Structure 1
């Protein structure tokens, strides 16, 4: 009986112990069974970025209002796209599960960027959250050097300077990865005579080693100087600033495009404000100033001797334009009166045409009338006045760089201050209608009886695009990307003439080059 009682006590004690063990283990079992909490989410956008500025995977918090918005950059992935399998949360960890896609013919190296909105409240502080990108069917590609490091090495090694963004792609031929970098219209610091080049480089992305490089010259040096005027496919007029023991001088030169010869035309200790070829290239008109008075000179092509033609009673000529090969229009500007005059090269006589009671900053004329442009303080736009008889003036609009395209059409630029751009206005004097070209136009010029050339300032790059606009048919044709908003354009030969100040050059004069525009492709 005692044995039976003893056994019963042992069994009861064992049961009690087992009961205690099951209670103690309950919290431990709950921890073992904890699962990641699934979060509902919405994908706003997926982009395969090829910026390659930062190549490591990362997650950026864009905003947290009612819902958390994230930008997940997945690092370099070889894919045709990605999908998000799920997003989970465990404590302060948010896990984003990614699958890559491999659609045939669409696979490429890029950095997938996913814009995500978490549609459930996150109570934790943002700075305490950890984001994990879980790659389920791929491994991201890690490179030793990113895009910025590769470009800095190229700039240093090849001594080039660029004011535009190069085209950069990443490819994977066989088992290697290659940076393909294409520069357009950049400076080769080691080539003074032909500094503008297109440059293509291939770099091993895993080692940083340069595999191949090729420079393509696109420019030819003409001379140092400031461009003043141009006769298409014929001559360029420019000036140089020079210093010697006798002082500072400005020298006028003519460059013959056909023979590549340069001729000195005129030397002055005063400032050459402007110089213009006559329409048939028989004369050059020169306007110079000594800060107190101005003078006009005519240089005949046949003897290259400068003749002073400033009228005795008009000692402040400031603006000038040729009407034809024998008639020069110019404006004498005084404090309270401005006078438009002409000079005839045949009889060496001046003639007063009209007077106005303000100081014009621009003017033009046609058989049907005149344009005078009056400045407005602290604004880009100016008042544009037109007159048919030189007596009655009508304010057309505000703008600048106003010209007659033909007898009935006026073109000018107008600054749109809110948008920080200039648009080209085209005004028909007969119909009183005005239409515009809605580009950000830095400059324009009259090409011929059918076309206008204009130069647009590009938003992303520090460069410009040259276009041709057909007035009668209304179409716009892009020609080339260029790095100056002033160019003389030879349409027949697709050549441009520009004056540039190369980086690190200490020179009073810019450098004048001809540029092969066929090598400057348009970026879409």
Structure 2
């Protein structure tokens, strides 16, 4: 007893002489007892939800305090664990330290996950919440530590394999032969060193301890068609595209025809001006296009057989903005000849004559025609959407809805896009031309759509949280959707006979690079 008393006295004197406090000693917890807000007490809490997440960006255990609308929550991330479920067994406070006790369940179905636990706190002094510290007590598990996080791994993969992508790969953590491996799956990415087959899929396994790539598998899924920008496409014939060239310091624009039948390419026309549109005649034997030079534009017709060019002469104050084939021998030409006035003329290619079609006391910025029925878009300044209107000869104009990109599908149905006010996406609306009743609506994420038959629409939509796009086909008769797959461009179209998806985009890793056109077989696209 005397020895113990002597030791205590010596210990106390040492503290006084060294001017140290108990909190400064390395073997004691550093807790400010005098300023403690809470004594040892139990919390009242409610576990709102437990998620087993595979978002592996941060694998370290942590706790976040969230206060919103007079409610206080703690978000608990226990770290990387093999789990099939988690339970919060207790929460208590001792001297401003919130101790959170967690029990892990690990059955045969358990996977490597980052659990996320949301807990609503009740009867807590809000003024002192910011002073609290949090401590996770792992009752029956230890968080798994890895040396190479996913951000470092992806940076190394992109550098070593010379790939370029704006999208995030599918990622998983798996166990194999007592090792924890990053399983990485890239879809539709650019192979920087391969210009002829620019788009690939890439699968990898990377050791999370050493950072070593233990498996890689590259799939060559694409074929380069050409440089250029697609102007229009027709399921029966092919597509028209433009190419910009500079030779001897002279800039030219060329129109090219890609033939679906034999995959051949043919240069159709060369000009010093800009080409703003080009479309096939219904029989596929000729095209019409508009050539623009500054504020002046001229429509032309070219016979694809002998490449004979016919200039369409309009009155001097009539500037063509859009041209559509009405029949094999007639064109509908949209012109704006005065402020807030538009006119659609009908041009007869047999005798080179113009006749009046539709005059509107507003600006038409696009239209689609089927026989004598016209679906048009009236320009609305400072608005995301224009006014969609239907014109039937002898019946006048009828307002349909707000939107843009009007298209007549067949004699029964019309379609248009409606921009969402709070996002970059669109809703696709399909309505009955006779009853004006809306038949089908696909909401929120549509980027573009194209007709591939009189009963089918091919469309692309954005993929949430990713820069990839999803492509699908809508059948108007069955009203069923068919998934085509994931692609990396909103500008694309699908050729049914060959089951090829054609995409058009600029190479992301080359500054000021021209757009390229390439194809991917439908069977190579992943449908998820």
Common topology (TM > 0.5): yes
CA separation in 1, counterparts of 2:488 and 2:394? 40
Match of 1:490 in 2: 495
Match of 2:20 in 1: none
Whether 1:441 aligns to 2:436 is no
Q: Is this contact kept in 2: 1:199–1:213, CA < 8 A?
A: yes
Match of 2:145 in 1: 142
Whether 1:251 aligns to 2:250 is no
CA RMSD of aligned residues (A): 2.4
The structural deviation recorded for 1:87 is 2.1
The structural deviation recorded for 1:212 is 1.1
Whether 1:52 aligns to 2:56 is yes
C-alpha change, 1:509 and 1:422, in structure 2 (3 Å) is same
Q: Please list, as runs of the form range in 1=range in 2, the aligned pairs for 1:397-476 lying within 5 A after superposition.
A: 397-418=401-422, 421-435=425-439, 436-476=441-481
Structure 1 unaligned residues grouped into runs of 5+: 1-30
Moved more, 414-423 or 206-215: 414-423
Q: State the SS of the aligned residue for 1:310.
A: coil
The structural deviation recorded for 1:490 is 0.8
- Count of aligned pairs: 489
Whether 1:185 aligns to 2:188 is yes
Q: Is this contact kept in 2: 1:465–1:480, CA < 8 A?
A: yes
Moved more, 180-189 or 307-316: 307-316
Match of 2:17 in 1: none
Q: State the SS of the aligned residue for 2:147.
A: coil
Q: Is this contact kept in 2: 1:170–1:179, CA < 8 A?
A: yes
From the CA coordinates, give the structure whose radius of gyration is larger.
1
CA separation in 1, counterparts of 2:269 and 2:260? 19
Match of 2:514 in 1: 509
Q: Please list, as runs of the form range in 1=range in 2, the aligned pairs for 1:385-404 lying within 5 A after superposition.
A: 385-389=389-393, 392-404=396-408
Q: Please list, as runs of the form range in 1=range in 2, the aligned pairs for 1:110-121 lying within 5 A after superposition.
A: 110-121=113-124
C-alpha change, 1:411 and 1:273, in structure 2 (3 Å) is same
CA separation in 2, counterparts of 1:507 and 1:267? 22
Q: Deviations over 1:347-382 (max 9, x none)?
A: 444433343333311122223522332201011211
Moved more, 230-239 or 151-160: 230-239
Whether 1:361 aligns to 2:356 is no
The structural deviation recorded for 1:272 is 0.8
Moved more, 273-282 or 431-440: 431-440
C-alpha change, 1:85 and 1:325, in structure 2 (3 Å) is same
Whether 1:76 aligns to 2:86 is no
Match of 2:25 in 1: none
The structural deviation recorded for 1:314 is 6.5
Q: Please list, as runs of the form range in 1=range in 2, the aligned pairs for 1:324-339 lying within 5 A after superposition.
A: 324-336=327-339, 337-339=341-343
The structural deviation recorded for 1:70 is 0.9
CA separation in 1, counterparts of 2:191 and 2:269? 33
CA separation in 1, counterparts of 2:512 and 2:281? 30
Structure 2 unaligned residues grouped into runs of 5+: 1-32, 34-38
Q: Is this contact kept in 2: 1:293–1:315, CA < 8 A?
A: no
C-alpha change, 1:287 and 1:187, in structure 2 (3 Å) is same
Match of 1:371 in 2: 375
The structural deviation recorded for 1:315 is 4.7
Q: Is this contact kept in 2: 1:233–1:490, CA < 8 A?
A: no
Moved more, 203-212 or 503-512: 503-512
Q: Is this contact kept in 2: 1:66–1:121, CA < 8 A?
A: no
The structural deviation recorded for 1:476 is 2.1
Q: Please list, as runs of the form range in 1=range in 2, the aligned pairs for 1:197-216 lying within 5 A after superposition.
A: 197-216=200-219
CA separation in 1, counterparts of 2:157 and 2:123? 47
Q: State the SS of the aligned residue for 1:459.
A: coil
Whether 1:480 aligns to 2:495 is no
Q: Please list, as runs of the form range in 1=range in 2, the aligned pairs for 1:30-49 lying within 5 A after superposition.
A: 37-49=41-53
CA separation in 2, counterparts of 1:386 and 1:148? 52
C-alpha change, 1:304 and 1:173, in structure 2 (3 Å) is same
Q: Please list, as runs of the form range in 1=range in 2, the aligned pairs for 1:307-318 lying within 5 A after superposition.
A: 307-311=310-314, 315-318=318-321
C-alpha change, 1:234 and 1:123, in structure 2 (3 Å) is closer
CA separation in 2, counterparts of 1:411 and 1:238? 25
The structural deviation recorded for 1:488 is 2.0
C-alpha change, 1:54 and 1:328, in structure 2 (3 Å) is same
TM-score by length of 2: 0.87
C-alpha change, 1:195 and 1:425, in structure 2 (3 Å) is same
Q: Is this contact kept in 2: 1:484–1:500, CA < 8 A?
A: yes
Q: Deviations over 1:40-70 (max 9, x none)?
A: 3321111111111111111111228877421
CA separation in 2, counterparts of 1:123 and 1:482? 49
C-alpha change, 1:119 and 1:368, in structure 2 (3 Å) is same
Q: Deviations over 1:227-259 (max 9, x none)?
A: 012222642211111112252111111122333
Whether 1:133 aligns to 2:136 is yes
TM-score by length of 1: 0.87
